[in-house]
Each structure stands twice: as C-alpha cells, then as structure tokens.
Amino acid sequence: MSALLQVRDLRKSYATRHGPVRAVDGISFDVEAGRTVALVGESGCGKSTIALTLVRLLEADGGEVRFEDIRLGQLSRRDDIEVRRKFGIVFQNPYSSLDPKMRVLEIVGEPLRTVLGMRGRALRERVIMHLEQVGLGPEHVDRYPHEFSGGQRQRIAIARAVALEPRLLILDEPTAALDVSIQAQVLNLLIELQRTLNLAYLFISHNLATVEYVADEVMVMYLGRIVEAGPVEAVFAAPRHPYTRALIDSIPLLDPSRRGTLQPLGGDVPSPLDVPEGCAFAPRCRYRSERCTRAAPALEETVLEETGERRRIACFHPLDGPIDGGVA
Amino acid sequence: MSAEPILAIGDLAVEFPLLSGTVEAVRGCSLSIGKGEVMALVGESGCGKSMLALACLGLVPKPGIVRGSVKVAGREVVGRTDRELADLRGGRAAMIFQNPASALNPFFTVGAQLQEVVARHRGLSRAAARQAVIAAFEDVRLPDPKIALGKYPHQMSGGQLQRVMIAMAVACRPVLLIADEPTTALDVTIQAQIIVLLRDLVERTDLSVLFITHDLGVVAEFCDRVAVMYAGAIVERGPVADFLEEPLHPYARMLLAAVPRLGAGRARLEAISGQVPNLAHLPRGCPFHPRCAKTSDVCRRDDPVMRRAARGRHVACHHALGAIDGGVTGSSEDAA
Amino acid sequence: MSAPGSQEFGVRPSLGLSRLLSWFASQNVLLVVGAVIFLTIVALALLAPLIAPYDPNTIDFSQKLRAPGLEHLLGTDELGRDIFSRIVYGARTSLLIGVTVLAFSMALGVPIGLVAGYFGGRVDTVLMRVSDVFLAFPPLLLPIAITAMLGAGLFNAMMALAISWFPWYARIIRGSVMGVREELYIAAAKTMGVSAPRIMLRHALPNSWTPTIVQASMDFGYAILAAASLSFIGIGARPPTIEWGLMVAQSRTKFLDFWWTAACPGLAIFLTVLAVNLVGDGIRDLLDPKSRAR
C-alpha cells in the first residue's frame, strides 16, 4: 500500500533582483497514513516553502506530488479542490491566521460552507463538534478571536483545519508563537487528535526537542535540500550529517552540569541567494575536504549496520557512531 | 553579598490606569545582581518581565506609574527625569532587545550609529570614536569590522545585527546589561554563538547581566541565578543549579515539566491547564491558585509573600516551605 | 519568530457604553461641541415641518427684506420668504447632499480600489491609471464640466462631485487592502478554496474599510461645501430647491444693504461644515488613534 503523500523531486525558485533563488531544490519524501514526518531546519532552508507549495498557495516549478496515489496539479480545478480538501494546514501565527472580524462559528464554518455547502443548524452543530474535539465548547462559537488567548486561537485554527475531516495535516511551526506552558497543551492535543482522527502530520519546525516529542521521522533541511532523514530518535541520538550534529550541539541543555559544552557552529546561516558550489554546507563544515567543494553530494539511502534502520544522508564524509555520551 | 549590588530592585511596582481597569504589570518585585553575575528573569507572556526591565532604565511608557526603588550601581532610577537618566542609559547601563533590526535606524550605517553613541558617552573625537567602534566590533567577533562600519542594517543578517546591538551596548563599558530575549528570534546555531559571546564578555569584563528569557535551556547554559515571574510578581528566586534540580514553586515545577527536552523521547509532557490571568482582573489570593494542583483555602485567600526557603533561595508559596530547611518562616525578604 | 504571545497584555474585556462616552468627552471638548451642533442640525432637518414657523416657499412681497426681529427670526429675503424657515429646510438638502455624494463616491471607488489592491499587477495598474485621470482635474473644474454637459441641477451636481471624488476612495482602500492581503487568514481562506470575490468581500473589505470611513467622515463637510459652491455659481441646485449656497447666490445683489440675506445661509454652511469636521476628527481619533495630530 503506497504512502498517503508522496513527494518527488519538488522544486521551487523565486526570481529576485539578484538572480534566481532556489528555495526548494529537489525534495523527495513520503508520509504514511497516521504517521508524523517532521521537517526541521533554520531560516531560509525552504521548509515553509514546501508547505505553501503543497497547499498550492505557491506553484511549484517542478516535481510531482501524489496524494492517495492521485497526481495533484494534473486534475481539473474542481477535482483538484476535491483532493486538496483531504489535507488541511495550520499556520504558525494564531494572531493573524484567524480573521479578526469573523466569529468562531464563521471561521471554523468557512471550509464547511465553501466546500460542503453546509448552512444553518447543521453547520453550527458540526462546528461545535470540531470545537469539542480541540477542547473548546459551544459557548465559544459566537465570540471573536481577540477574546481568546494564543493557545485557544491555535486550537480554533486546528478545529478549522480538521473540519473537512482530512487525512493529512500540514503544521507549519504550530507552537512557535505560543508560550512554553501552552505549547505542551497544544502538542498533547495534536498527539491525541492524531490517534482519534487517524491523521498523518507533516510537522514543520525549527525546534528539535518539540520534533522529537511528536514525530516519527525527521528530515533535516539545509538551503533547500534534505541533508539527513530517518527515524527521529535515532537521527538525534546518532546523527550522521555534520549539520545535524551541529544543530544538536547548538541546543543548550537543561542540565547545569553540562554548562559550557555548547559548541556553536561558525559562520552565518547562508543566504539562498548565494549557494556555494558543491556541498552547500561545506564552508561551515569541520570535516570538509576537497571533494566537498567540487560536487554536491546526493541524498542516498543506506542501512545502518548497528541498528538496521534506513537512513538517508547527503554527505561524502558522514559521521559514524553516536555522540559522545549520548544526548541527555 | 559583600560588595554593593550592581542592580538592586526593592519592592518595584508598575501600574497602568487604563479605560478598562488598572493593570498591575509589576507587583512588589525585589531582586539584586552582583558584579559579574548573570541573573535570569524567566516567565511567559504577560508576566511583567519586560516592564520590569524597562523600569530599570526609567523607560516605562506613559501612562505607567512606577513605585518602589531601582538602584543601578548605587544610584536611584525611580522618579528621575530623562535628563537625569541620560548618563545612565547607554553609559553605565545598557539594554539589548529581541529584534535588533527595530533598534537600529535603517537610514544610517551601523558604524555611524555606534559612533554617535560612543562619542556621546565617552566624549571622544570622531577619529577616536571610529577606532573605538572598530574595537567594539572586534570584541563581538563581527567579521570584517572595517567593512561593517559602512553597512546598513538591511544588509546584515539577524545574527550580525544582534552582534552590532551588543557592540553598541558594551561600547561604553557598562556595568549592567539588560537583555530582553536577545536570542529568541535567532536561529539555533546563531543563538549558540551569541550565548558564547555573551558569556565571554561577562568573564572578561565582569559585566552584570539581567537576562530575560522564556528558554530554560539558555538559563541553564548561561545564567548563575534565576528569578521566575508570574502575573507581575516574582514567585521563586535562587541559584540555577538548585532551581533546575528541584524547583520549589508549583508553577516553576510545572513549567519545567512542560518543556520538551532533546533525548527525552516521547516521555509525556505535563501541560499546565488554563492560561495566565488577566493582569487587570487578578484572582483573589495567590494568582496561580486556579491552575495549581496543591491549592488549599489559604491559597484562595492570601497572596503569598516571598520568603526564604533555604540558603540563597526564596519562594512565594504557602505550600513550598514545608520540607526545605525546616521551613524558615517569619524572616522577611532579604534581597540576596 | 517573535516572542511567544508578545501581543497579549491581558486587557481584553468589552467596554461599557457610558464609560466609553464619558472618557471620550473628557478627551476632547471640541468634539463634544461639534457633536452638539451636528445633532442640532440633524434635528432641524428631521423636524423641519414642526420647527419652521413659516412655509419656506410662501412669497409675500409685503414682508420683503425685513431685518431679523421677533416676527422673522432671521429676517426675510427679497421675495418675502422667512429666512429661518428656509434655513431649516435647507438643512435637509445639505445632509442629503453629504450622504448622497459620499454614497456614490464610495459605491464607485471602493469596488475599484478593492479589486485593484487585492489582485495587484496589471489589474491594479489599469484600474489606477483610469481613476488617476479623474484625480488629475482641479477640484471643482470637473464637476463644472460635467454639469455643463449634463445640465445644471442638484442631482447632476452631486453625481459630478461623486465622479470627481471616487479616485480618493479607490486609493485609500487599495492601500489598506494591499496590507491586508498578506495576512495569514487570507492565505487560509485560499487554501480552503474560497473564491476570490468572496475573499474580497468577506475578509479583505471588513478589515480594510476603517481608513475609508475616517476619510468619509471628514469629506461629509467638504461635500456640503462643494455643493454650495456649485449652487453659488449657478450650476448646482436651482429654484425652487432650497439650498444654502443657492440662498447666498440669490442674495448677491442685495446683501450689501441687507446683510442677513447672505450672512445667515453663509453662517449655516460654516457651522455645519465645522461641526461635521470636528465630529470627523473625533471618529478618526476613535478608529485610528495613531494618526492623531499632535
């Protein structure tokens, strides 16, 4: 049985004054039903662009996207919308993703009204059902967004995203704009919903700890390409790509006995306008060699001997073995 | 504390009389920071930490009313006019913010902006100021300092701009640096660079830092002591190591349990139910009691006072003092 | 990545109306003055038949050109008509002018600006260039030209004003919409397959009409003044319409000896426009405090 979402060689460039910017440069991945795949990376890596391309807010320049084995983009507009309603999106900013002039009933009801043509009492009852799924209640239906806190607004956004009963949700940094104590609430809600509604998630984030908590698999991105992909705990405990290793080393640990072990990566996050020849990460990489500046390494799948897991790595000198002492 | 604290806050209160009610942004906070010490001020949105920071430099916007005492290097700040504070701001005490791009004027080069600050506070000539700026850029490890002089803010990355802002802050050799979430908007790898830079500055120049953040990892990595704020008041204060090992206040404990940690896998996070209270309509008694697992009658009635719980540790909670140090009650606030 | 919840400060309860009004009054004495005058004028207009002591159209040569006094509060004009009554009925005309001109201006300008701002690109360029043509004319020249073509009369004058004013509204709303279209809730609506017209009407318009309302509240006064000017030069309202500008025009030959025939309608115009402008300032302060003049 093939995966729910299959992305092959996705490409997206922007034309700018300074030349073309390859925001997404040949990305391929699968998301299986009911599983969570995470995309991590720093700013400019292209992860948000992927999300926008999948929901067709941006048009891809190349590559193929298949959902439930149907190729998107080849269908008539009507069928395309039919398919696309099978996946929903939750944006990062709960303060601007809800129309401030609309009531909750209208916000969550909009997809139901537009796509299913629901109205009146049927619409209201269905909206209440979805609000209850996210931990809100019928008393919230006639209120405006500004009457809610950030966490509650994000719940409303989630209710809106699941209103059409999709099979996949794209979550673009859903907790980044929320307070720490609320993040946990929303993450737990997402995990719960995944179970009860059998949802698959494409979870985009820059926060590795959050990703480890919710995801099954992770893909690490750098300048528009995937540099490493595999099961999340394994990738974070024993990263093979130097960039993944650097990301993990940059995270300050909550353990004061490990103070001073922070090893920052030198250099700046590069601009997508200025992608170096060869491996994009080479200028900042401790392990680079001559080979790395001549050609860009392809993303290749290998099976790790120790664990038997499948890992994809794009590097001429992958690291081996877990990090000293493991990550705690 | 033998030497005089660089920053001494005594019973600070900031309130805003607004149309819909009086908002008490800061309620009776006290803390002190010694020379070369880094103190973390931790809290979520709406807890008042930014307002407390602004009050330290007399920058509370109108119609805010400030009461209590804030002494920077021994000199009182509360009640002073802008003119009286002009020497302090940017001179003995400096502040850096979360968004460096908004702290810099987009129409002037970064070199020109720093030169202006340096010339004003250190009374240097233009040539001398220029040299001082280059030295400051080197201090913050900004690549190609001479070239950087002529760059405009929009030509620099977020990490570089934050370095420029730090350079601007330390160019006049302040004794106190107030940092309001300086790394929150930065990428992880850049955040690590900035933290290492700040620690280096502290070690070299004995700089005292009030570091405002919500990121407990950064607190563990960089800070010596921590003060946790909730609904405008400090609820716990003490050394970072002790705090992380065993937090005393229920809010602090729940906060630590709600943060995902790398390497902890899928161990369930305990979310705190409910949300932070409206500062204009605080509940009676302890402001945390509606969300606290240990609430009892006294919590609903009385707002707890900050009390010493152990050596160097203070907490404001009716229930926290039981097991620690036999519960040293009755001794009032000693700002240590 | 902004600080979590940075926009919240915890102050969100809805405001009681009386508290709002009293705070408002304390902010701005002039606003209160303006509001009182304006409401008086509205009252005069609505209750004209009850307030006016005489029929405004009754001609009585025996009463002609009487000075203000007990029988005729503001005197009479050269046809013996009571000026006070004519002013009261004229208030109806003036308010009607304000509302009509604005309504037509916005009906023309808002859709154009909305579409131009939302789509951008070529659509924007074409629509804006077309409306720029109307902007290029000096303020009263275009209405004069249009009424010269269509013929004089109050209705034509109002249409002429609306046609020459709509580009302002188009521009204002275009600017707001260009800001709003980048908001995430618009993107969210697009992902749901909501049609562009519905997004424009349901999402973009309600979130961008504030500056337009502010502008309209200030233009109300200008509309009245402009119409009065057109009537004065003879191409606006014509007899037997009762309009303050027309009254001033009709008193042209006599007012040097009989000052009240021009002064009273003139004063009425002045007070109305002043009141409307004061109220407009207040509305602007309420809806958009950032633009308050120092």
Contact A254 B216 (CB under 8 A): yes
pLDDT of residue C108: 93
- Looking at CA atoms only, how far is residue C201 from chain A in angstroms? 12
Q: Is residue C59 situated within a structural domain?
A: no
Q: How many whole angstroms separate alpha carbon C266 and alpha carbon A281?
A: 77
A177 at the C interface (CB within 8 A)? yes
Task: Kindly list the distances between the CA atom of residue A121 and the CA atoms of A130, A133, A165, A208, C276, in Å, as whole numbers in the listed order.
Answer: 14, 19, 19, 43, 44
Among C1, C192, C206, select the one facing A111 at the smallest CB separation.
C192
- Looking at CA atoms only, how far is residue A100 from chain C in angstroms? 8
A256 at the B interface (CB within 8 A)? yes
**Residue A171 · residue A194 · CB < 8 Å:** no
Q: Is residue C9 situated within a structural domain?
A: no
B159 at the C interface (CB within 8 A)? no
Q: Is residue C87 situated within a structural domain?
A: no
Q: What ipTM does the predicted assembly reach?
A: 0.86
pLDDT in tens, chain B (336 residues): 457 899 999 999 999 988 777 888 999 999 999 999 999 999 988 888 999 999 999 999 988 899 999 999 888 999 888 888 887 887 789 999 888 888 889 899 999 998 888 888 778 888 888 898 999 899 898 888 889 899 999 888 888 999 999 998 888 889 999 999 998 888 889 999 999 999 999 999 999 999 999 889 999 999 999 999 999 999 999 999 999 999 999 999 989 988 888 888 778 888 888 778 878 788 888 898 888 888 888 888 888 888 888 888 999 988 876 544 433 443 344 443
Q: How many whole angstroms separate alpha carbon A200 and alpha carbon C241?
A: 72
Q: What is the CATH number of the domain that holds C160?
A: 1.10.3720.10
pLDDT of residue A328: 30
pLDDT of residue A107: 95
Residue type, C157: A
Q: Is residue C81 situated within a structural domain?
A: no
**Residue B277 · residue C10 · CB < 8 Å:** yes
Q: For chain A, which chains pass the contact test of at least 3 CB pairs under 8 Å? A: B, C
Q: How many whole angstroms separate alpha carbon B249 and alpha carbon B285?
A: 15
Q: Is residue C26 situated within a structural domain?
A: no
Q: How many whole angstroms separate alpha carbon C264 and alpha carbon B332?
A: 76
pLDDT of residue C289: 54
pLDDT at C293 > cutoff 50: no
pLDDT of residue B334: 41
B265 at the A interface (CB within 8 A)? yes
Q: How many CB pairs under 8 A join B and C?
A: 49
Q: Give the total number of structural domains in chain C.
A: 1
* Total Cβ atoms within 10 A of residue A173: 21
**pTM of the predicted model as reported, rounded to 2 decimal places:** 0.84
Residue from B299, B304, B303, B301 nearest B314 by CA: B304
Q: Is the peptide bond prior to B63 cis by the omega test (within 30 degrees of 0)?
A: yes
- Looking at CA atoms only, how far is residue C181 from chain A in angstroms? 11
Q: Which residue of C has its CA nearest to A153?
A: C5
Contact B259 A180 (CB under 8 A): yes
A178 at the C interface (CB within 8 A)? yes
* Total Cβ atoms within 10 A of residue B250: 24
Contact B44 A179 (CB under 8 A): yes
Q: What is the secondary structure of B236-282 as a DSSP string?
A: EEEEHHHHHHS--SHHHHHHHHTS--TT-TTPPP-PPPS-PPPTTSP
First CA to last CA distance, chain C: 34
Contact C193 A114 (CB under 8 A): yes
Q: Which residue of C has its CA nearest to B185?
A: C1
Domain, as residue range, for C247: 95-294
pLDDT of residue A1: 62
pLDDT at C291 > cutoff 50: no
B21 at the C interface (CB within 8 A)? yes
pLDDT of residue C24: 62
The interaxial angle of helices C17-27 and C260-287, nearest 10 deg, is: 120
Residue type, C11: V
Binning pLDDT at 50, 70 and 90, where does residue A116 land? confident
A288 at the C interface (CB within 8 A)? no
Among B187, B215, B271, select the one facing A184 at the smallest CB separation.
B271
B179 at the C interface (CB within 8 A)? no
**Residue A293 · residue A277 · CB < 8 Å:** yes
Name beta bridge partners: B29: B12
Which residues have C-beta within 8 Å of that of residue A266, sequence separation ≥ 6?
A284, B193
pLDDT of residue B333: 42
Q: Which residue of B has its CA nearest to C19?
A: B19
Mean pLDDT on C156-166:
88
Mean pLDDT on C117-121:
93
pLDDT of residue A326: 38
Q: Is residue C71 situated within a structural domain?
A: no
Task: Kindly list the distances between the CA atom of residue B161 and the CA atoms of B101, B212, B216, in Å, as whole numbers in the listed order.
Answer: 7, 19, 24
At B17, give phi and psi (nearest 5°).
-80, 105
Mean pLDDT on C81-106:
90
Poorest-confidence range of A40-44, A242-246, C15-19? C15-19
Give A-chain residues touching B196 at CB under 8 angstroms: 262, 264
Q: Calculate what percentage of chain C has a pLDDT beyond 70.
A: 88
Q: Is residue C33 situated within a structural domain?
A: no
Q: State chain A's mean pLDDT as an integer.
A: 88
Give C-chain residues touching A57 at CB under 8 angstroms: 187, 190-191
Mean pLDDT on A30-35:
93
Q: Is residue C35 situated within a structural domain?
A: no
- Looking at CA atoms only, how far is residue B144 from chain A in angstroms? 12
Residue from B14, B52, B60, B59 nearest B33 by CA: B52
Angle at B179 between CA B175 and CA B181, to 5 degrees: 170
Residue from B189, B209, B190, B212 nearest B199 by CA: B209
Residue from C29, C82, C62, C90 nearest C244 by CA: C90
Q: How many whole angstroms separate alpha carbon B229 and alpha carbon C7?
A: 18
Residue from A47, A50, A44 nearest A271 by CA: A44
Among A55, A111, A177, select the one facing C4 at the smallest CB separation.
A177
